[in-house]
A = this chain, B = another copy of it.
Amino acid sequence: MLIVGELINASRKAIGEAIKAQDVEYIQKVAKDEFEAGANYIDVNAGIFVGKEPEYLQWLVKLVQEVVDCPCCLDSPDPKAIEAALSVHKGTPMINSISLEKERYDALLPVIAGTDLKVVALCMSDDGMPETMDARLKIAEKLIGGLVKNNVPIENIYVDPLVQPLSVNSSFAVEFINSVEAIMTQFKGVHTMCGLSNISYGLPVRKFMNQAFAIMAIAKGLDGLIINPLDKMMMASLVTAEALAGRDNFCVNYLKAFRNKQFDFLG
């Protein structure tokens, strides 16, 4: 399971303020916390700073990689911001994200083509957000096809089928998890990943629902998540779901998590 730590995102108030104030210490503390809690990539996003996004995204990458030995997930639709970040990034980052929206696709494809970058391929097109499994599959097929044709290995592609709120339509969770299963089955070697919080938008007890949704998606084959790795219950759920999904031989990681007291929050 690939875990992307989602916290260093300018749309979160504390991070937005820290970026504005150039608060190195705070950003680096969050990066360290995420890494120590199990993040494989640290997402960096400076999207709210129009005009300054390239500069700030580059700054974030530098700060993060000064304190953790971990690649970043460069969270921007803007090729200028991505390129500024890439110019200082050590190792192989993940680009978050390309989509089938023409402007975004055309702008990001040249940056990604022929590289060994990991890339999130978001199931969104100029026709809007897909609601059904079929609509998602059509977009996924075009995105995967286009990327592979442009020499991006399928193993480097993380399709994000796009989570939509259950409060809007009672079938949105099922359509999503069935999309995960279909994508993982039909495109051998590809990965799937997503953020979770949209699923519970407008509903109470959101963290609990997000976590159940993650477990269900893992049952269907999801192998990547953009989450808050400091959420102890979420991380315990993931290590448990991974064991149940047959991805943890002899439950080694599950037992290690138990020994490391990662279930102690249960009391």
Contact = CB atoms under 8 A, between A and B. Distances in A.
A80 interface: no
A251 B166 contact: yes
Contacts of A171: 246
Nearest to A245: B174
Given A240-B212, A263-B208, A203 B251 contact: yes
Given A215-B215, A244-B199, A204 B255 contact: yes
A170 interface: yes
Contact of A251 (B170, B177, B218, B251): B170
Interface in A195-249: 199, 203-205, 208-209, 212-213, 215-220, 236-237, 240-241, 243-246, 248-249
Interface residues of A, number: 38
Contacts of A215: 212, 215-216, 219
Contact of A209 (B167, B199, B244): B244
Given A212-B215, A241-B216, A263-B205, A170 B236 contact: no
Contacts of A216: 215-216, 218-219, 241, 244-245
Which of A177, A212, A220, A266 has the largest count of B CB atoms less than 10 A from its CB? A212
B248 A170 contact: yes
Contacts of A174: 244-246
A258 interface: yes
A204 B263 contact: yes
A158 interface: no
Best-buried of A171, A199, A204 by chain B (most CB within 10 Å): A204
A254 B220 contact: no
B205 A258 contact: yes
B208 A236 contact: yes
Interface in A129-184: 166-167, 170-171, 173-174, 177
28 contacts: A166-B251, A170-B243, A170-B246, A170-B248, A170-B251, A171-B246, A173-B245, A173-B246, A174-B245, A174-B246, A203-B254, A204-B258, A204-B263, A205-B258, A205-B263, A208-B266, A209-B240, A209-B244, A212-B215, A212-B241, A213-B244, A215-B215, A215-B216, A215-B219, A216-B216, A216-B244, A216-B245, A220-B220
